[in-house]
Amino acid sequence: MTKKKVKAKRKNKEKPTSAYIGGVVGVASGIIISVCLGAFVLGGVKFSEKPKKVKDTTPQKLVEATTTEPLETESIPETLPAEIAAILAAAPANQNATEPLKIDSTKPMIALTFDDGPYLGSTEKILDVLEENNAHATFFHVGNCITDETKHILKREIEIGCDVANHSQAHENLRDIPLNSALTSLKNTDKLIKDATGKTPIYVRPPYGAYSDTLREEDGRMFIYWSVDTNDWKSRNADAVYNTVMTYAEDGDIVLMHDIYDSTADAVAKFVPALIEKGYQLVTISELMEYRNFSYEEGMLLFNLHPTNPLYDSLYGTDTYDNPPTTLPAEEGGIFNTTPDDITETTPSTTISTTINATIPSRPRDNKNADTVY
């Protein structure tokens, strides 16, 4: 990949994505106590240089989901209908909103993102706060958490203007399983989300931040990373999460959280009105891209859309890695730490470290031993 600094705005590729945008279908059901996800415990982050693109030769054996029977799937097409590119180009700023939030492109904005739900109770509390404050967010859902008891949560996310996106079927490490298994995991989750909302998600966040270039290329959607990690999975402390967001989140940041924790929901109730009071607009990934004049690109990896120095990586030869930020907020042992091998298991700390100097390599792909939930 030839790397060069480019402007944020890029023309959309003619290659269509694997996203289908349809109408909203609501499915509501009774409330039953459900158990969604446990903790995912893995160790630091290892980085490697981007390899040359080669044909994936991994034995193509499907792996069953850990907690549900695998869904029936169709073969994954090599190409998608040409009209998808046109649909994306004509879509409103928020792919889901029926009445989009009025956004001023000249004012600062932050994209809040939540992983691992939907979860009865905590996800709903977060939605209450967002709706009360006319704020939006993006939810990356795990397929196995989408049940008859939780489908109404996805419908509500759509109704209040949030984006719903894909976080795999069973929180698998998509880099370490066969390519067809990884694609099937994403496709099964797409089906569950579409059944609940009528929409196929156009964004993916791989669990643990683990992926391969081949997966990005074959899946054909944008992969969304983050630039501020709240470490809410670690602290389980609302004040710590609040302090991280209020200290580090800036214009164009993508903030990582998990909607399965009550402590995170409590933090959201505090920092959402506080950020709005400071003049920030809280938007979805779709809205952030739209109002930063940043076009959807197949297979792109997006970290943030800072006004003057956005950070992203393209499969097609352009990125901003030649001029990355000199610092990124992260707790010791976070994904951007340059010494992940030094991490040891300790009691979770409620304190937040100072900003860590980091040099970002071409691909933060190998999180096989990460101790994070992501």
Domain-embedded: residue 57: no
pTM value is: 0.65
In tens, the pLDDT along 268-283 reads 999 999 999 999 999 9
Domain-embedded: residue 190: yes
Domain-embedded: residue 34: no
Q: Which residues contact 23 (CB under 8 A, 6 or more apart)?
A: 198
In tens, the pLDDT along 155-169 reads 999 999 999 999 999
Tally the domains of the chain: 1
In tens, the pLDDT along 75-100 reads 334 444 454 455 444 444 344 444 55
Domain-embedded: residue 15: no
What's the CATH number where 322 sits?
3.20.20.370
DSSP string, 194-258: HHHHS----EE--GGG---HHHHHHH-SEEE--SEE--HHHH--HHHHHHHHHHH--TT-EEEEE
For 250, 251, 310, 326, the CA distances from 306, given in Å and listed in that order, are 8, 6, 5, 13
Kindly give the residue spans of alpha helices, DSSP state H, lying in the chain.
83-90, 122-132, 151-159, 179-197, 213-219, 232-235, 238-248, 262-277, 285-291
Inform me whether the pLDDT recorded for 67 exceeds 60: no
Domain-embedded: residue 84: no
Inform me whether the pLDDT recorded for 8 exceeds 80: no
pLDDT score at 91: 45
Residues of the chain with pLDDT > 90, as a percent, come to 55
Q: Which residues contact 360 (CB under 8 A, 6 or more apart)?
A: 311, 321, 324, 325, 328, 336
More confident residue, 364 or 109: 109
Instruction: Please give the residue range of the domain that contains residue 268.
Output: 108-357
DSSP 319: B
pLDDT score at 62: 29
Domain-embedded: residue 274: yes
Structural tokens at position 68: 């549900």
Q: Which residues are catalytic?
A: 115, 258
Structural tokens at position 127: 């939605």
pLDDT score at 292: 94
In tens, the pLDDT along 313-335 reads 988 766 665 544 333 333 332 33
pLDDT score at 316: 79
Gap between the Cα atoms of 45 and 371, Å rounded: 8
Taking residues 104-126, what's their average pLDDT?
98
Domain-embedded: residue 175: yes
Domain-embedded: residue 362: no
pLDDT score at 309: 86
Q: Which of 56-65, 156-165, 226-235 has the lowest mean pLDDT?
A: 56-65
